[in-house]
Amino acid sequence: MKKLINSPETVVTDALAGMAAAHPSLSVDIENRVVTRADAPVAGKVGLVSGGGSGHEPLHAGFVGYGMLDAACAGEVFTSPVPDQIVIATTAANGGAGVLHVVKNYTGDVLNFQIAAECVADEGLHVERVLVDDDLATDSGLADGPGRRGTAAVIAVEKMCGAAAERGAGIREVAALGRTIVTRSRTMAFALAACTHPDQEQPSFELADYEVGMGVGIHGERGRERAPFGTADDLVDTVLTPIVETLGVARGDSVLAITNGLGSTHPLELHIAHRAVALQLAARGIHLARSLVGPYVTALDMAGCSITLVHVNDDLVTLWDEPVRTPALTW
């Protein structure tokens, strides 16, 4: 599998250099792999920081800017950022009103954000954390397991908490909002083909022509089960039904739906999947209040998509609609 790179060792730093060239309005610390709003820290505003392994772009650096994140740190491909990076990002985002860490639920991310939070707490900085764990495929029901993985619901958390922070909400209020959004969000993904890590020759798993990987993860995790390949309508139904049932959304409820490309799935295909989402929600009497369609939380070049529903109310829709100006999300 050919990749458009210079070497596996410089994938992340070379891409950050390209991001700096494309977006002179962002501050890109290539050495520490931290991307910051040019005007950070914004005095008196709660700072928002996220980060995680690379390979999921535009997540998270593509969401740095007015109305969303103040800073993001990028680990190596599919590898958590280290605590030092998170400390740098947190310090850069600190406008004196506290900093919110938006963390996807993976062991390394959770641990390293925790270490970083303890470091800056020693300096007197108030850090709250929102743990995003929307991936239904990893819901084991076990109280002592690692819990569900975090995936595309992180977009809703970063967007809506970012809007609340711009409005002047305090750190506890922004954190509570983020936790509310998490409880109202579920995601499930399916793959038509696996991804290939830039330092490997072979895909992370193999799928036959007649099968799809249901419940795949964004790090090339092979998924919960193999299911027969089918039409877009059928594949979407297979993931949408358990999401709807788990969230308990029903006739008269409103949702934000994110039809997210995992990397190499074409916009034509994503919109075909989103048509299925819209029709199946309508058939259940659920109101599709807002939509986001595109590759936002990718898994390198995996083919497939994830569907996220966020059970929204008027307040959440208003926060979603507020202005945002980042490389990947602007309105």
Distances (CA, A) of 192 to 76, 99, 210, 242: 25, 39, 10, 20
CA of residue 296 relative to chain centroid, distance: 7
Instruction: Mark residues 257-276: x for contact with its own copies by CB under 8 A, - for none.
Output: --x---xxxxxxxxxxxxxx
DSSP bridge partners of 225: 214
Instruction: Mark residues 209-248: x for contact with its own copies by CB under 8 A, - for none.
Output: x--x----------------x-xxx-x-------------
**∠ CA 314-316-318 to the nearest 5 degrees?**
70
* Residues 174-203 within binding reach of its own copies (CB under 8 A): 192-193
In the sheet that holds 211-214, the strands lie side by side as 225-228, 211-214, 185-193, 303-312, 254-261, 287-294
CA of residue 100 relative to chain centroid, distance: 15
Is residue 274 annotated as a catalytic residue, yes or no? no
Considering the candidates 56, 101, 126, 197, report the single residue annotated as catalytic.
Answer: 56
Segment near its own copies (CB under 8 A); pick from 36-44, 173-181, 217-225, 301-309: 301-309
- Give the whole-angstrom CA distance, residue 82 versus residue 285: 45
Is residue 154 near its own copies by the rule CB under 8 A?
A: no
Is residue 56 annotated as a catalytic residue, yes or no? yes
Phi and psi at 62, nearest 5°, equal: -70, -5
Is residue 6 near its own copies by the rule CB under 8 A?
A: yes
Size of the site for its own copies (CB under 8 A): 63
Residues near its own copies, by CB under 8 A: 2-7, 11-12, 14-19, 21-23, 54-55, 57-58, 62, 77, 192-193, 209, 212, 229, 231-233, 235, 259, 263-278, 288, 291-293, 295, 298, 300-301, 303-305, 325, 330-331
